[in-house]
Amino acid sequence: MGEMQRSITGSDQTRGTQSSHNTPPVSLSPSQLDAPTNLPQLYHIRSLQGKGQAMIAACNIPKGTRILCESPTITLPGNSHDSASALLLAQLITTQLSNLPAITNKHFHTLHNNYPPPTPAAVGICKTNALPLSHESLSAGVFLTASRINHSCAPNAQNIWNASLGKITIHAVRDIDADSEITISYLEPFLPRPERRAKLASAFGFDCVCKRCAVPPAQIKQSDARVERLVKLDGEISDGHRAVRDPLGCLWKIKEMLGLLEKERLGGSMVLRAYYDAFQVVIANGKEARAKVFAERWYASVIVVEGEGTKDAVRAKRMVERPAVHVLFGMGMRWKQGAGKIPRGLGEEEFGKWLWREKVGV
C-alpha cells in the first residue's frame, strides 16, 4: 500500500491493494518466533471457532498503532502460474527453507495449508499464507505471525509492506477492543458481498464468516448498494479531466465517498486515497489553503496506515508544508486563493462547509 494512492490525472501512483493472499493455523507466542520486533506484545495467537488460528488483541489498541512489524520467512516472486515456474517456485522455496534455522523451519510447517497433495506441502503453505510485499512487483512473503491474521470484509487492521524497513507492518485502522480479533482484508476494496464470497471461496478456499458477511439480508442489500455507489464514485473521481472540468462536483463526490466508507466501516487506505484525491483536486485549481488542510488529513491517514518515515509519509508531509510544490498546482486555477487563508475559530460543521466548498462564493 502507500499503495492505495493514485493520481487523479492517472500520471503517478498506483491502484489496488497489497492485501491479496491466503493464510494458516497454530498457536505460537510471538516471543517464540524470530520476528524481529521490539514492540510490546499487543496480541495473542489462538484458535477461534470456524477460523483456525487467529490474532487477538491483548489490550485496547488505538487506531494508528503499529501492531506488528515482521520480516518475511520466505519470499516469493510475482509470477508463478505455469508449470515451469511452479517447478522453479518449489525449488526456490526448498532452497530458502534449507537455509532457515531448524526451529523456524518447524514453525513454517505449522502454518495453515489449503492445498492437498500432490501440491508439495511447503508450496501449499506458501500459497495459503503469502502476503504482498509490493504493489508493483506482485512479489509476496510468508510470515510466521502476520500470516496468522484472518480476513474480514470490514477489517480493523491493515498490512503494508514497508520497503525502507524491509518488513511488513500491521497497523490498527480503527480502535480495537481488548480480546477482539485483529483482521485484515485479503481482497481488493469495493466488492459487493456475492463477489467477495465467491472470490474468497475460489481464490482462498474458505467461506467467510466475518461480521460484515453475517448481517441480515436487508442490511446486505443496503451495503451492496453502497458498494455499487462507491465503485461509481471511484471511477468518476479518478477521471482527471473531471477534476479540471468540474472540480467542485469532484470534491463533493469525494466527500460522499468518505461518508460511504465510514458507513461500510472501510477505513485505512481508502480514506487515505480519498484525502489525497481531494488534495489533488484542490491544488490543481489553486486552492492552497484548502489543499493544506486536505494534505494534513492525507498525511494523518498515511500515519495511521503506515506510520512515519515511509515514502508516502515523507511525501504527504512535504505537501502539508508546501502544497504549491505539487506537480498539479495551478493546472486548472479555477479558484485562486493564497496559502494563508484557512479560517480560524470556526466550529466543526462550519469549517467542514468551508473545506468542502459547500458555501456559495468561497
Ligand X SMILES: C[S@@+](CC[C@H](N)C(=O)[O-])C[C@H]1O[C@@H](n2cnc3c(N)ncnc32)[C@H](O)[C@@H]1O
Residue 204 sits in the site that holds ligand X (CB under 6 A): yes
Instruction: Give the one residue of 42, 160, 208, 284 binding ligand X; rule: CB under 6 A.
Output: 208
CA 307 to CA 170: how far, in whole Å?
10
Residues 129 and 111 sit within 8 Å (Cβ to Cβ): yes
Residue 180 sits in the site that holds ligand X (CB under 6 A): no
Which one of 51-59, 167-175, 265-273, 310-318 is the stretch in contact with ligand X (CB under 6 A)? Answer: 51-59
CB of 16: closest distance to ligand X in angstroms?
19
Between 48 and 346, CB nearer to ligand X: 48
In one-letter notation, the amino acid at residue 203 is A
Closest C-alpha to 309, from 66, 132, 74, 67: 66
Between 142 and 320, CB nearer to ligand X: 142
Q: Is the peptide bond before 118 cis (omega within 30 degrees of 0)?
A: yes
Which one of 48-56, 72-80, 174-182, 277-285 is the stretch in contact with ligand X (CB under 6 A)? Answer: 48-56
Q: What is the dihedral of CA 264, 309, 3, 68, to 10 degrees?
A: -60
Count of residues that interact with ligand X, criterion CB under 6 A: 24
Closest C-alpha to 267, from 24, 9, 1: 1
Between 148 and 253, CB nearer to ligand X: 148
Which one of 154-162, 203-211, 250-258, 271-279 is the stretch in contact with ligand X (CB under 6 A)? Answer: 203-211
In one-letter notation, the amino acid at residue 59 is C
In one-letter notation, the amino acid at residue 173 is V
Residue 201 sits in the site that holds ligand X (CB under 6 A): no
Between 51 and 199, CB nearer to ligand X: 51
Site for ligand X in 85-124 (CB under 6 A): 112, 114
Rg (CA), the chain: 22
Tell me phi and psi for residue 7, to 5 degrees: -100, 135
CA 26 to CA 14: how far, in whole Å?
35
Question: Hunting for cell 511452479 — which residue is that?
Answer: 86
Which one of 11-19, 155-163, 205-213, 233-241 is the stretch in contact with ligand X (CB under 6 A)? Answer: 205-213
Site for ligand X in 11-30 (CB under 6 A): 22-25
Number of Cβ within a 10 Å radius of residue 111: 26
Instruction: Give the one residue of 34, 39, 52, 255 binding ligand X; rule: CB under 6 A.
Output: 52
Between 18 and 22, CB nearer to ligand X: 22
Residue 147 sits in the site that holds ligand X (CB under 6 A): yes
Between 204 and 298, CB nearer to ligand X: 204
Alpha-carbon distance values, 360 to 255, 283, 349 (Å) = 17, 19, 15
Between 186 and 354, CB nearer to ligand X: 186
Residue 143 sits in the site that holds ligand X (CB under 6 A): no
CA 312 to CA 274: how far, in whole Å?
14
Between 128 and 269, CB nearer to ligand X: 128
Which residues neighbour 27 within 8 Å (Cβ) at sequence distance 6 or greater?
A: 45, 46, 47, 53
Closest C-alpha to 88, from 71, 100, 76: 76
Residue 78 sits in the site that holds ligand X (CB under 6 A): no
Between 107 and 273, CB nearer to ligand X: 107
Which one of 50-58, 157-165, 276-284, 325-333 is the stretch in contact with ligand X (CB under 6 A)? Answer: 50-58
Residues 334 and 285 sit within 8 Å (Cβ to Cβ): yes
Residue 206 sits in the site that holds ligand X (CB under 6 A): yes
Kind plus residue range of the DSSP H or E element containing 52: strand 52-57
Which residues of this chain interact with ligand X, rule CB under 6 A? 22-25, 50-54, 112, 114, 128-129, 147-148, 150-152, 204-206, 208-210
